[in-house]
Structure 1
Amino acid sequence: MCAYVLVAEDDEMQAELIRRSLLLEGHTAGVVHDGRSALDEVRRGRPDLIVLDLMLPVIDGYGVCRALRQDDDIPILMLTARSTEDDVLLGLELGADDYMTKPYSPRELMARIRTVLRRSRRQGTGRAASPVVRAAGLAVDPERHEVHCDGSPVECTPGEYEILLAMASEPGRVFSRRQLLQCTRGIDRASTERAVDAHIMNLRRKIEPDPRRPVRLLTVFGVGYKLNGERL
């Protein structure tokens, strides 16, 4: 799975280490050292994924993520030296697909990149066509990797898409945070289950008439979440 990956990292040694690791994986890589250059390169070079450091000069990683999510669904893997849960959740709320805290191993970073790319490319692989999944006014198309709500397209990050596909496939079923975490990130790494809450909050903004009073994506207190199984 060869991809063009943009590395936005102000530490030149770290950026070069990531670039070399990507080349060894068979990818091509671009490197920028500030947030403004990252936005310019995304719009010029159309990378398949961006590895985004939060502590960038000019525009920080949060600002880059916020700007990209206004009109782009490029997968974003955040790198941060801030290890508090609130910092991580803020990145996810802005639309990041995954994150890693520093220090990290290049081997694990490459594994995460493979996972995010795989999620974002589950179409056009020659598999038998999968039926569109419909529930609660949503239509989730596994082949085209598209989501529609009441007939209107919904832009989802790969993680948000995986949550909706899982829940729409079994409307009315209650999913725990851990189960949804497995849908979006796999079970091979430690992570906070509260990260799922950030994805749910983003999805409610996109599919609910009033995100403060959800009728589609419901909370089951003390357990997790479910997609409304009733006809809306």
Structure 2
Amino acid sequence: MTPPSGHTGAVARALIIHGDAAERQRLADVLGAALGVADGVEGPDGLVDDGYDVAVVGVRLPSRSGISVLHDIRRDHPDVAVVMVGGSDPELAVIALEADADDHCTPDVSDRELVLRVQRAIERRALLLAATDSVGALERDGLALDPVTRSASVGGVVLDLTVKEFDLLRTFASSPDRVFSRADLLELVWRASADDHSVDTVTEHVYRLRGKLVAAGSTHGWIETVRGAGYRFALPAAQSEPETQSQTEPDQTSHLLVESSGSSPARQASTPLPPSS
């Protein structure tokens, strides 16, 4: 599977698995892909050997379904991004995303949008892998996170997290002190854009995640609000670099959490005023 010479497309190392020869060629031309494969039998075998970053898989293939190929790729090559193409039924997109595809494109997708979606899929897959690798042994100030078993605890108290709440916490913990906008989190955790989903979804999940951390006994505000920018995962002061100026603001819904849970509010760090002269 040696890439042909002369390709100057926008996306490198893309493997096309599609049953329609004309569409396969179009996708290869748009993406600068190195290889087109008629069905999904031999396609996934070359993903590692030839170092492909993304597989663009047709929903319907001659010998098997594209979802079946997706399952094989996820099992054997979890580091490879997968973008499903074809099928106008919105239910197909839901099925593909539930099977852990990184994205789904309908047949009428423009060339420019296809390139952008494939590039974003590669970036998201890399970030997800970085999150899994970097927080595998995370245990700081009573917070423990295990991406293998998808479990999290505070002070030994297991957190009862939904799938998205765990993925949100893992994304935050993978990059301490990095500021994530709500749009960033929508794309990384929900694999959606602000055009498709409301960023209020992120706000609500962050609120619930904070509540579960406090209810479990955490006295450290792990997820801080950064004014006008989004959120960041803040390590305890002893484990992070000292800040010269804080950009964070207290969560405006924290009083609701206290009233609804009956627990005492978590301590919030504040900057002491200088003594009056």
Bin for the TM-score computed over the shorter chain: 0.5 to 0.7
SS in 2 for 1:35: coil
Structure 1 counterpart of 2:65: 60
2-side partners of 1:181 and 1:38: how far apart? 31
State TM-score, norm by structure 2. 0.50
**Percent identical residues:** 23
1:19 has 2:37 as partner: no
Aligned equivalent of 2:100, options 72, 95, 103:
95
- Relative contact order, higher structure (CA 8 A, sep 6+): 1
Q: Cα 1:178–1:122, aligned 2, differ >3 Å: closer, same or farther?
A: closer
Q: More displaced, 37-46 or 64-73?
A: 37-46
2-side partners of 1:150 and 1:64: how far apart? 25
Aligned equivalent of 2:117, options 107, 112, 115:
112
1-side partners of 2:150 and 2:123: how far apart? 28
For residue 4 of structure 1, report the CA deviation from its aligned partner.
0.9
For residue 106 of structure 1, report the CA deviation from its aligned partner.
1.1
1:76 has 2:85 as partner: no
Aligned length: 174
Q: Cα 1:231–1:101, aligned 2, differ >3 Å: closer, same or farther?
A: farther
Name the Cα RMSD after superposition: 4.1
Aligned equivalent of 1:138, options 145, 149, 163:
145
Q: Cα 1:103–1:38, aligned 2, differ >3 Å: closer, same or farther?
A: same
Unaligned stretches of 5+ in structure 2? 1-9, 129-133, 152-163, 176-181, 219-277
SS in 2 for 1:56: coil
Give deviations 1:103-132, integer Å, cap 9, x for gaps: 111110001111122233459xxxxxx998
Contact 1:137 1:231 in 2 (8 A): no
2-side partners of 1:93 and 1:21: how far apart? 27
1:36 has 2:41 as partner: yes
Contact 2:138 2:144 in 1 (8 A): no
1:226 has 2:209 as partner: yes
1:4 has 2:13 as partner: yes
Q: Cα 1:187–1:150, aligned 2, differ >3 Å: closer, same or farther?
A: closer
Q: Which amino acid aligns with 1:3?
A: A
SS in 2 for 1:34: coil
Q: Cα 1:137–1:71, aligned 2, differ >3 Å: closer, same or farther?
A: farther
Q: Which has the larger radius of gyration?
A: 2
Unaligned stretches of 5+ in structure 1? 124-129, 140-146, 152-158, 171-176, 197-222
1-side partners of 2:84 and 2:59: how far apart? 7
Give deviations 1:159-213, integer Å, cap 9, x for gaps: 999745435479xxxxxx987423344636x4367xx9xxxxxxxxxxxxxxxxx
1-side partners of 2:150 and 2:29: how far apart? 45
1-side partners of 2:35 and 2:83: how far apart? 15
2-side partners of 1:42 and 1:161: how far apart? 29
Q: Which amino acid aligns with 1:38?
A: G
1:181 has 2:190 as partner: no
Contact 1:138 1:148 in 2 (8 A): no
For residue 79 of structure 1, report the CA deviation from its aligned partner.
0.7
Q: Cα 1:107–1:41, aligned 2, differ >3 Å: closer, same or farther?
A: same
